[in-house]
């Protein structure tokens, strides 16, 4: 898989995103929230730095959700039985998504405050 042409690697990435979309309700939910946040940000017309902060927050949440999904798929394939350490690893990865989601909400709230105060 190494050193493949860019378009081929892009295809692999897009396939992975489409699999996550089909298999993971949480990913679909996060994408919908990201779209709503994007529309809200466009309507609020903040400064570019705030728009960039919102965009980065959305991207971080979606990237972590994809990573969490990949980890769960891999772990479930390699070790289908329930094991305490595997559950812990999956819970920690889900916690990473939660931390990024909370941080994104804080960025959005601060953006709103900044717009109201200007």
Name residues whose C-beta falls within 8 Å of residue 96's C-beta, 6 or more positions apart in sequence. 64, 67, 68
CA torsion 79-81-85-90 (nearest 10°) is: 80
Q: Of 8, 24, 65, 85, which is the active-site residue?
A: 65
Annotated catalytic residue 65: yes
CA-to-CA distance for 72 and 114, rounded, in angstroms? 38
CA torsion 43-18-24-97 (nearest 10°) is: -60
Catalytic residues: 65
């Amino acid at each position: 898989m190494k050193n493949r042409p860019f378009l081929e690697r892009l295809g692999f990435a897009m396939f992975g995103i489409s699999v996550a979309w089909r298999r993971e309700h949480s990913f679909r939910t996060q994408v919908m929230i990201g779209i709503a946040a994007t529309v809200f940000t466009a309507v609020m017309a903040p400064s570019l730095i705030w728009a960039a902060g919102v965009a980065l927050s959305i991207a971080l949440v979606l990237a972590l959700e994809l990573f969490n999904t990949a980890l769960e798929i891999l772990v479930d394939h390699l070790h289908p039985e329930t094991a305490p350490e595997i559950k812990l690893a999956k819970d920690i990865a889900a916690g990473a998504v939660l931390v990024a989601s909370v941080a994104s909400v804080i960025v959005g709230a601060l953006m709103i405050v900044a717009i109201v105060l200007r």
